[in-house]
A and B are shown apart, each in its own frame.
Chain A
Amino acid sequence: MSNTVHTSGEIAVSVQHLGLTYTTTIDRRPTLKSRLKSMGRGTKQTQVIRALDDIMLDVPYGSVLGVVGANGAGKSTLMRVISGILPPSQGRVEVYGKVSTLLALGVGFSPSLSGRANVRLGGLAAGMSRQEIEDHFEEIADFAELGDSIDAPMRTYSSGMYARLAFSVAVTVRPDILIVDEALSTGDARFKEKSLEKIKELRSDARALILVSHALGTVKDICNEVAWLHKGKLIQRGKPDEVVDAYADFLHVRKSAVIDEDI
């Protein structure tokens, strides 16, 4: 996407004192009706969730950062802030390159349209040119191995097919900074292996990778550094073995086999 060549060690993402709070309505669907109803009773409508709290993090080019943490730790939220989707509530995030998140191309945005149209639309929304998308399309379709389904409406896709297409888009557009947020857990074993190969291949290039995963084996295997988030706070960051072991101890699942499975 960008032609600048980054040298290894140069800073790619700098997260400084980042905080983020979600303000959501308690009702799942905010409506005028419910608002009018609760106005009479004077009940509070909103709930504040502190999803990220004073996070400090640097990601240099040429490195792979693993992010681990329990469900609801704020991993996906952090990735959304880095890719500019959620504005921070406090702090500052500096990004020195073009970011692509695994789902960043908004694939599957319109379920009634075909996979092909969705890839195009997602790419255009992310700021790619028509030409760039056409240039990459073959490669994307090949990697996803969806066959003729690429022209079927996306509502007919299984969740694994979704994940395949999204992964293919994210890795094919050659971003400077690639964020992979555990969306591979729905892929089948063969595709998982293939995408792991792809990630390793991308690692050798001059780019930065951020890998969010619950598969601690994979994290240890391919990351140079790991950050452990818990309830919005950065608990520890450092060498993969140390952090992953500390995290696994914390979870009391060290001996269990389940943790090594997924990417």
Chain B
Amino acid sequence: MTPVDVFVPFHKGLPPLRKYWRTLWERRAFITEYSRSELHEQHYDSVFGQIWLILNPLLLSAVYFILIVIIGGHSDKVRYAHLTACLFLFYLVANTLTGGVKSVTSGQRLILNTAFPRIMLPISATVIAIFRFIPTILIFAILRTVLGLPVGWELLWAIPIVVITIVFALGLAILISCINVYFRDIANFLPYLTRTFLYLSPVLWEASDLKPKLQTIEMINPLFPILDSWSRTVVHAQQPHLSSMLIASAWALLLFIFGTYFFLSREREFAVRV
């Protein structure tokens, strides 16, 4: 008779990937159920929750728009649309990070008592952030209709851009949730980190505003090509630059692969660390 499970000391490096994937796939219902329960808990399925979900990003973009008007940037309707659209996509990444960073450490009880692929936890955090992003797409669709922005088939580019953003955010969440096991104060630095990236990204300003001297920002900030392509597409209904799309995809894939490798090679010791 063959054993159902054999537990032996693990070697540094990745666990058997095929088996890992299979156990992860078997538990996909956990990810949906967990996201649903969390959203329910945050009252996103009640009327007031829905209203708040729509009001919150609108208020946020209104506040930043006031800021832009005061510091004297462009303040026409296109700028407002740009700000809103980019803010929404930026918050998809930021929410994934804030939800993801503690996903492993707060799942302590589950980790200590159940054998399961730990990567389910940051994935669930990402799914929750995606669910919170969906209503903002609808708001923006209404907004751009009201503002009379151009419409065209180029808008379809939004789909690959969102996919790239999700892969990027997922990679980040996986990486940072793992780092947080070893350094529990990472979560405290996170607000500063996201704030910095918000200002270094073409959200409050447009990519074309960037002074030549500051062009290195474009190179080091992975969100730059993502948000630039996003704005071109959903605000101006133009085709994004191919180079931006390629750079963005490269960043996203790299981060996802690196984060996953880092996580998988360490997750077996989480139970003695959390």
Contact = CB atoms under 8 A, between A and B. Distances in A.
Nearest to A10: B1
Nearest to B26: A127
Interface string A82-122: 11111111111111111101011110111011000100111
B37 A110 contact: yes
A137 B271 CA distance: 28
B72 interface: no
Contacts of A22: 272
Give the secondary structure class of B's interface. Answer: helix
A124 interface: yes
B114 A126 contact: yes
Contact of B6 (A11, A92, A105, A117): A92
Contacts of A83: 115
Contacts of B8: 87-88, 91-93
B5 A94 contact: yes
Interface centre among A35, A108, A121, A122 (most CB of B within 10 A): A121
A94 B5 CA distance: 6
A81 interface: yes
Contacts, number: 124
Interface centre among B1, B120, B184 (most CB of A within 10 A): B184
B199 interface: no
A41 to B, nearest CB: 18
A29 interface: yes
A113 B4 CA distance: 33
Contacts of A238: none
Interface in B1-44: 1, 3-10, 23, 26-27, 29-30, 33-34, 37-38, 41
A93 B110 CA distance: 22
What's the interface size class on B, roughly? 35 or more
A93 B6 contact: yes
B107 interface: yes
Given A30-B184, A122-B110, A127-B27, A87 B6 contact: no
A101 B113 contact: yes
Contact of A95 (B4, B27, B120, B182): B4
B128 to A, nearest CB: 12
A102 to B, nearest CB: 9
A251 interface: no
A257 interface: no
B116 A126 contact: yes
A83 B4 CA distance: 12
A23 B37 contact: no
B114 A31 contact: no
A32 B186 CA distance: 7
A117 to B, nearest CB: 5
Nearest to B272: A22
A101 B115 CA distance: 10
B217 interface: no
Contacts of B115: 83-85, 126
A33 B185 contact: yes
Interface of A: 10-11, 14, 22-24, 29-33, 35, 80-99, 101, 103-106, 108-110, 112-113, 117, 120-122, 124-127, 129-130
